[in-house]
Amino acid sequence: MFVKVCGLATRSDIDVAVAAGADAVGLVVSGTSVRGLAREQAAALARHARAHTPERVLSVLVVNDTPAAEAAELARALDVDALQLHGPAYGEAEFAAAARIFPRLWRATSLKERPDTRVGTYGEEVLLLDSPRAGSGARWDLSLLDAARPEGPWLLAGGLAPDNVAEAVERARPWGVDVSSGVESAPGVKDHALIRAFVTAAKATEEDEEGRAGDAG
């Protein structure tokens, strides 16, 4: 189970996420998000994420209100691993513009937008399905996936927390999960104990799946 912890704001946030076993950390640059970082902050945190060796954690720049080409230039300047274009403002043309500058793109959307849920539709490596109100911590109706379940590397997000991620994974069967507000003590403030608990709970779903497969065999 791939686990991304998003909206990190300090070096210690990154250290805890990496030590807990997260596969990716998300750095938000946005003028409208409580988790938005100044570009200088994002640059420093991206450097800190790269310094984690021999552990390997992906650094993902997340934007929702930055023009796609500008966001791609920023991703290249920050030397992050991937750029997540989040929301309905980014369509096929925007992804094409970003890809000419920075090829490793993730697409984040919600089923409210009636998106094409085939992973790679806009050339993205990873698809993320979120709540209609991104970053709100609101859960959404996972039964909607019955008619629009992606195939390939896709992340489930929206309202996930340590106490419900196992249930959500069993229901949605994603490739990975993404969490932000569900591991916070206050908006934009990460709780390190919750980060550890979330990653542990999410990773345990892999073991549960393997155990069920073994029982079936």
Q: Is 23 an active-site residue?
A: no
Retrieve residue 83's tokens. 């750029």
The dihedral over CA atoms of 133, 150, 174, 156, expressed in degrees to the nearest 10, equals -10
Of the residues 6, 13, 23, 178, which is catalytic?
Answer: 6
Of the residues 13, 23, 81, 130, which is catalytic?
Answer: 130
Q: Is 163 an active-site residue?
A: no
* CA separation for the pair 189, 34 (Å, rounded): 9
Question: How does strand 58-63 pair with strand 189-190?
Answer: unpaired
* CA separation for the pair 126, 108 (Å, rounded): 8
Active-site residue numbers? Answer: 6, 130
